Amino acid sequence: MAKRLMVLISDSLSTIARKGEITPRYYNPGELFEEVYILATNDDEVTPAEFQSTVGQAELSLRYVPLPTHGFLSTLGYQQFLLNRWAETGVRLAKEIKPNLIRCYGNGFNAYMGSRIRRKLGVPMVVSLHVVPDKDFQPRTFLGKINSKALRRVEQPALRSADHFIAVYNPIVPYLQRNEVKAYSVIYNAVGYSAVPKQTYDLHRPIRLLTVGNQLRDHKDPMHIVEAASELQNVELKLIGTGNVHEQLMRLARELNSDARCEFIPAMRNEQVLAEMQQADIYMFNQSMLGISKTVMEAALTGLPIIVNKRPGGALDELNADWLLQVEDTKDGYGRGIRELIQNNTERERLGRAAYAHARETWAPQDMESKVATLYQQILDRS
């Protein structure tokens, strides 16, 4: 009988496709499974052909189980006995599919459903965490705080029942420890398969600055990067990504009379992004969250010198290292960092080569994929 994997996600697949964030075998590491069933907790339908590469040669099937309408109200703040009615749809699908393993990307409503399947049918479950849930997204409004507190009810079942957790970067580990999770591994995202390392660190004219990622207020806002680049001569800034501050960033570039030197590209396929990185001179990134961004990992795999903002972190913050340059999260901070790397050829090359060496040792994509496939096989063997 074919080995079957049931993947539960909360993400919008059409958004992933629109951004071009398609990673080979992302949902089927090592092509361990012959059949992969992706179940999304939304009604955002896409064609399977768009995501075939994410499962390799496996047969792909897509299913959708949207959350209840007005979910917070209709479940009285995500009360479990009411959420279970919705989650039973996933249990019925699992009975039909008969998966050997469940993988949940994130511990949200998808993992809540997964934990229900785990409890009812005994199918082993692996959950990956991609943020630090109680640190990265601190609500600021009264309603936001109420919703955040209610979501803890959604998180708890998987924390108790999952066979294994994958932390995709080190700062997630204290969260798992605070919740007394015993079975976990740190396995970075497998990214940058087609990254080509830089062969020269000679600067282009004009100098090419690059930043890639969502453009989000409070979380990933490159405003200070735009401001800093606008004050420098013989510099071009390319921003790939979009979000709720995208239009504001373009207005800012116009107001600073640098729109001719700032190119905004809302979306680009991943292999093209990696090609842009290979041709850039300096990579820059901004975020408030504790972990390391996938685009910073890809830039490191390309051997780019990298500038990031300092963040309130902890002992396990990967960015407290000598393979990148940390600056104050201000216009002047980024400006000083850019000028330092432009003027100091030796340091610019040292940073790029150090980033590449660290990336190959720490998160080479083939190694990360192999680690997940090995973990899956160990759990299958035990079950």
Separation between Cα atoms, residue 156 and residue 112, nearest integer Å: 8
Q: Is residue 159 located within the same domain as residue 254?
A: no
* Integer Cα distance of 78 and 81 in angstroms: 9
Domain identity same for 10 and 137 = yes
Listed residues 156, 186, 216: the one ending a domain: 186
Q: What is the pLDDT of residue 316?
A: 60
Q: Do 223 and 140 have their domain in common?
A: no
Burial of 256 (0-12, 13-18, 19+ CB in 10 A): middle
% helix, strand, coil for the chain, step of 5: 45, 15, 40
Domain that holds residue 74: 4-186
C-alpha–C-alpha distance, residues 48 and 46, integer Å: 6
* Phi, psi (rounded to 5 degrees) for 288: -95, -20
Indicate which CATH number applies to the domain containing 41: 3.40.50.2000
Q: Tally DSSP H helices, then E strands, for the chain.
A: 13, 13
Residue 255 lies in a domain: yes
98/158 same-domain check: yes
Average pLDDT score, the chain: 93
Per-residue pLDDT at 79: 84
Query: Do 181 and 214 sit in the same domain of this protein?
Result: no
Tell me if 193 is assigned to some domain. no
* 35 plus 175 within the same structural domain: yes
CA pair distance 4, 383, nearest whole angstrom:
14
Check whether residue 71 and residue 213 sit in a common domain: no
Inside any domain, residue 370: no
- 216, part of any domain: yes
CA distance 334 to 356: 22
pLDDT value for 285: 97
**pLDDT digits over 126-154, tens only?**
999 999 887 777 777 777 777 778 778 89
Q: Does residue 216 register a pLDDT over 70?
A: yes
Residue 19 lies in a domain: yes
Rounded to whole angstroms, the Cα distance separating 31 from 373 reads 8
59 belongs to a structural domain: yes
Task: Specify whether the CB–CB gap between 26 and 53 falls below 8 A.
Answer: no
Per-residue CA distances from 302 to 234, 309, 353, 359, 373 (Å): 23, 20, 9, 9, 25
User: What is d(CA 174, CA 150) in angstroms, rounded to the nearest whole number?
Assistant: 21
Per DSSP, which regions of the chain are E strands? 4-9, 35-40, 59-64, 101-105, 125-129, 164-167, 184-186, 207-212, 235-240, 262-265, 282-285, 306-309, 325-327
* Per-residue pLDDT tens over the stretch 294-338: 999 999 999 999 999 998 665 567 888 899 999 999 999 999 999
Structure token pair of residue 146: 């109420």
Asked if residue 23 and residue 152 are part of one domain, the reply reads: yes
Q: How many C-beta atoms lie closer than 10 Å to residue 103's C-beta? A: 27
- Are 181 and 309 part of one and the same domain? no
Residue 378 in any domain: the answer is no
* 104-143 b/e (C-beta count within 10 Å ≥ 16 → b): bbbbbbbbbbbbbbbebeebbbbbbbbbbbebbeeeeeee
Q: Which of 157, 186, 215 is the last residue of a domain?
A: 186
Contact 127, 114 (CB under 8 A): yes
In a domain, 371, yes or no: no
DSSP one-letter code for 124: -
Q: How many structural domains is the chain composed of? A: 2
Residues 181 and 229 in one domain: no
What whole-number distance in Å separates Cα of residue 378 and Cα of residue 101?
Answer: 11
Query: Which residue, of 130, 154, 186, is where some domain finishes?
Result: 186
* Nearest alpha carbon to residue 336 among 383, 272, 284, 260: 284
The answer to whether 193 and 221 are in contact (CB under 8 A) is no
Are 177 and 239 in the same domain? no
- How does pLDDT run across 54-66, given as a tens digit for each residue? 999 999 999 999 9
The least confident of 249-258, 296-305, 309-318, 359-368 is: 309-318
Question: So what's the pLDDT on residue 312?
Answer: 67
The partner residues of 325 in beta bridges, in order of sequence, read: 307
Encode 331-366: b = buried (16+ Cβ within 10 Å), e = exposed.
Answer: bebbbbbbeebbeeeeebbebbbbbbebbbebbbbe
- For residue 206, is the peptide bond before it cis, meaning its omega torsion is within 30 degrees of 0? yes
